[in-house]
Amino acid sequence: MPTAPGFTGSPIERIDNERDHPGMLEARRADPRALYLKMDGLDPVATADGALDWAPIAEAPAGVDLALLGLIDDIPRFVALERQAAGSNHNLIWRLLDGFPAGEAGTYAAARSLIDWHSRHRFCAACGAETAVMRAGWARRCTACATEHFPRTDPVVIMLAEYQGRVLIGRQPRFPAGRYSALAGFIEVGESIEEAVARELFEEAGVRATGVRYVASQPWPFPSSLMMACIATVESDAVTLDTNELEHAMWVDRDQVAASLANDPDAPFIAPPPYAIAHTLFARWLARE
């Protein structure tokens, strides 16, 4: 059973150490092999065989800043930083993610998050003046006060509470019917991963963590989070549900998790899709990794 987190494994060589080199961006763009990633707003465009669709750099939109994602097979890869609204066709995205070759989702994640961040940060948070693209598309600089701004990543913990061989899962009202997942929440300022796991478990389910172990992480580009998956042992299986956060929660054992990951029609819940790190978390707990 594959347990690598979704949105990871992109073949992009990011060449961060070259982003400030004078003339680098122009030279990479002038490379006759250079390609740009086709996007439909924030959504990916796929080829007939289900891979990301790349086009010659000459076909990139005119008058739009380009970000250099990096190199793949030593070929410069760009994405157009067209200003976007926040909307996205998530049904299309989920369908394409199910069929992407390995690593493609990670490349899309980087491109989508960059486009979204640039669309949201056209003005300086320090003085309000306009900002301009710098560092090959990986930062912006204020045109008035010269403050530099860099793409943000919001840290999120996602965790399974474990008690005597069972784990606690929950569902939100927006989930498809029957789907359950691990509990999750944003890390607050001045808080460690372990502290956030313990706080979120107590706030959402009333269970108290006695130990927390890190499992894996995943970029989640909706719009730009870093999911940090953990397993927490808890002192009791008594649940006090926060119904503002969760519609329902229940404890499940290894056989029940295995049935759900295997898409058994008699399983007690529908597991998260493979590209979600909750799926990885279930699989690694099941494998005792």
Sorted by where each begins, the domain ranges of the chain are 16-149, 154-286
The pLDDT value given to residue 85: 62
Question: Nearest-CA neighbor of 69 among 57, 58, 61?
Answer: 57
The pLDDT value given to residue 267: 98
Class for domain 154-286, per CATH?
alpha beta
Low-confidence ranges of the chain (pLDDT < 70): 1-3, 85-87
The pLDDT value given to residue 86: 60
Q: Classify residue 166 as exposed, middle or buried by CB count within 10 Å of its CB (0-12, 13-18, 19+).
A: middle
4-24 burial, b for 16+ CB within 10 Å, e for fewer? Answer: ebbbbebeeeebeebbeeeeb
Omega within 30 of 0 (cis) for the link into 223: yes
Q: How far apart are CA 270 and CA 205, in angstroms?
A: 20
The residues, ordered by sequence, that sit 6+ positions from 255 with a Cβ below 8 Å of its Cβ are none
* Domains 16-149 and 154-286 equal at CATH topology level: yes
Q: How far apart are CA 88 and CA 92, in angstroms?
A: 9
Question: Nearest-CA neighbor of 48 among 119, 120, 99, 103?
Answer: 99
Q: How far apart are CA 163 and CA 253, in angstroms?
A: 10
The pLDDT value given to residue 90: 83
* Residue 44, strand partner residues: 39
Asked if 284 and 3 count as a contact pair (C-beta separation under 8 A), the reply is yes
Q: How far apart are CA 140 and CA 149, in angstroms?
A: 5
CATH of domain 16-149: 3.90.79.20
Q: How far apart are CA 102 and CA 33, in angstroms?
A: 23
Handedness of CA 122, 123, 125, 129 (dihedral sign): positive
